[in-house]
Chain A
Amino acid sequence: MTARDWQKLITAAVLLGIAALLPLTGNAYWLSLGVSVAMYTVLATSWALFSGPTHYISLATAAFFGVGTYVMGSGIEVMPYWTLLPLAALAGGLLAALVGLATLRLSGVYFVIFTLGLAEMVRQCVTWYQNQTGHKGTYVLTELTEADIYWQLLGLAALVYLAGWAIQRSRLGFALRIIGDDEEVAAHSGINTALVKVALFVVSGLVAATVGAIIAPRYVYIEPATAFAPMLSFQVVIMALLGGTGRLWGPLIGVIPFTLLWEVISASFPNQTTLLLGLCFLLIVYVLPKGFVGLMQRLDLMRQGREAFA
């Protein structure tokens, strides 16, 4: 590791430390906002690990998240919390592997379409199963406070960043970039393209499921419609793309403004959240194709250009 790497690592650790102090302010509103930001940061960053370099747009986040929530919800009566977290991750990873194996051999459109309805399909199956067995929802009663949830999500965020950083410098990360540039060249260079894509998709799946499991106690009562809310998938895509997937910290700078904006809009105009979502999509495509990260790089280049002429 170079001195620059250490510098970045220490900066990140300090920022994380500051973020961890939030619950000490005792302000419940800020804390709940903090939980949202931390949750979306983890989801958007892990989404970007896979979808950033490959350009495969995954809308499966809600499905993984819901699976994680349900593992926690249905297991909490019989098993300790800390064994359920890895189990939830495992379930999410498994679902991701199955979906990946079925769709990632094919072109991107098939993948988008498949993931688009995945959450809804899993929700239908869970609802059906519950109707068969005759119970509706599940209670998740734990001793965990909002602050505990927040700290767990921060810890998970740190893990995701470390994993992302390690992947970027690994052969896996290099292979993923090659695939994103030209899949045929990748295959002819000897890269197992399907394996690489599935592996990264599994990472994003298991992280999203873990987030679902961590959030579950916050809901107290879980039913399929809340656990598998399809809107979540779209929110995550928007935040990640708004921030930009070109850098590991990109999604974070999309998450913060979007979460605040979403909070304001859904408080004062609850019916207009879909409109907001739509406008953000259009904004990304037509104005910010590489997100805030791309915008900053462009401004940087312009400034350098001006200095060179001055």
Chain B
Amino acid sequence: MDIIITGLILGGTYALIAIGLNLQYGVARIMNLANGEMLVAGGYTAFALYTGAGLSPLLTIFLVAPAAFAVNWAIYRVMLRPLVKRAPNRGALEQDSILATFGLSFVMVGLMVWAFGGDYFNYAYLSRRVEIFGDGFGLNRVVAFLCATALCAALFIWMNLSRAGMVIRAVAVSPDSARLVGIDVPRLSAIAFALGGAVTAVGGAVLSTYLTLDASTGVIFTMKALIIVIMGGVGDIRGTIVAALILGLGETLVATLIDPGLTLAAAYALFILILLFRPQGLFGRRQA
């Protein structure tokens, strides 16, 4: 029971991060390998505002989200749009965007190390214990989970019920057809990319309430988010949530029962199974 709840709580936060990446890859077609750094930046902001100004991380979210949205919008417009324009085909764009976002990720790590130093950072927020089904859990973890759940639910409903959400899904399915029915694909891609970045940064702020982060941990989260996106299926929010929960559970299981040092190995084991048996994702239909 302990494992299941810890796993689900971890998975809930993963879901938020992976949804951010999935919006960027599924809609804007940019495999953003600087996603983890955006997360760490969100975490840093929450940390700085809590220790510096005593601002609750739950309120910080409302600052982090618009800021990250603006930053990511600019990144897409300035750095990535030119690559989209010059790419002769999807493969070339993928290669370019992988290299460019790797560059971005290293630059961000470099800047964060420069500004804050390379040390781990954490802070005590709501670190009381609460009892769930007879086991004790950190209140911050539970609050983070509730926060992530609320955000995931809001995004899911917005994507499926609102007009803007439908337009975004249309671009994800087929950018060419979307253009034909009068959707401004470049603008939508920029918005989706910015939104994805904002969601990830918020995920980072939430995560920082109970995890210790440092400037160079971003890549681990990028890895996990990528694995979740592939497992859940590109452009599929429901699949992403399920995959994130599976990964959270799997990691917690391995960490508790075998060794805490093997979490990435656990993620890889899941990844290999997916690649071998369902490369189109858990709910994806086999490509023709």
Report A-B touching, CB under 8 Å. Answer: yes
Q: Residues of A with Cβ closer than 8 Å to B?
A: 55, 57, 102-103, 106-110, 112-114, 116-117, 120-121, 124-125, 127-128, 131, 230, 234, 241, 271-272, 274-282, 284-286, 289
| A281 and B113 within 8 A (CB) | no
Q: Which residues of chain B come closer than 8 Å to A103, judged between CB atoms?
A: 275
Q: Known interface pairs A114-B271, A121-B264. Does A128 touch B94 (Cβ–Cβ under 8 Å)? A: no
Min Cβ gap A107→B in Å is: 8
Q: From B91, B108, B109, B258, name the one whose CB has the most chain A CB atoms within 10 angstroms.
A: B91
Known: A112-B98, A124-B262, A284-B99. Contact between A275 and B110, CB under 8 A?
yes
Decide: A106 and B95 in contact? CB cutoff 8 A: no
- Whether B230 sits at the interface, judged by CB under 8 Å, is yes
Chain A CB within 8 A of B107 CB? yes
Chain A hits for B105, CB < 8 A: 278
Provide 13 A-B residue pairs closer than 8 Å at the C-beta atoms, listed in order of the A residue. Answer: A102-B276, A108-B91, A112-B98, A116-B223, A121-B265, A234-B102, A272-B110, A274-B216, A277-B106, A277-B110, A281-B100, A284-B99, A285-B83
B101 → chain A closest CB, angstroms: 9
Residue in B227, B230, B268 whose Cβ sees the most chain A Cβ within 10 Å: B268
Q: B109 is contacted by which of A106, A121, A230, A274 (Cβ under 8 Å)?
A: A274
Instruction: Indicate if B118 sits at the interface (CB-CB under 8 A).
Output: yes
Residue interface mask B78-121, A partner, CB < 8 A = 1? 00001100000001101110111011111111110110001000
Instruction: Report whether A241 and B104 are in contact in the complex, using a CB–CB cutoff of 8 Å.
Output: no
Please classify how large the interface on chain B is, using the bins under 10, 10 to 19, 20 to 34, 35 or more.
35 or more
- The answer to whether A274 and B106 have CB atoms under 8 Å apart is yes
Choose from A57, A117, A289 the contact partner of B98 (Cβ within 8 Å).
A57
Which residues of A are found within 8 Å of B216, using beta-carbon distances?
A: 274
Which residues from A are CB-within-8-Å of B107?
Answer: 275, 278-279, 282
* A113 vs chain B, min Cβ distance (A): 5
Chain A residues contacting B264 (CB-CB under 8 Å) are: 117, 120-121, 124
Give the number of residue pairs across the A-B interface with Cβ within 8 Å: 119
Q: Are A121 and B110 in contact (CB under 8 A)?
A: no
Task: Find out whether the CB atom of B279 lies under 8 angstroms from the CB atom of A106.
Answer: yes
Besides the contacts A125-B265, A131-B261, A281-B99, what 18 more A-B pairs have beta carbons closer than 8 Å? A102-B275, A102-B276, A103-B275, A106-B275, A106-B279, A108-B91, A110-B230, A112-B31, A112-B98, A117-B223, A124-B262, A128-B259, A128-B261, A271-B113, A274-B113, A281-B106, A282-B107, A284-B99
Q: Chain B, 214-237, contact with A by CB distance < 8 Å: what is the 0/1 string? A: 001001101100110010000000
Q: Are B103 and A110 in touch, CB under 8 angstroms? A: no
- The smallest C-beta distance from A102 to any residue of chain B, in angstroms, reads 5
Tell me which residues across on chain A come within 8 A of B263, comparing CB atoms. 124
Task: Give a binary string over B234-253; 1 marks a CB under 8 Å from any A CB, 0 the rest.
Answer: 00000000000000000000
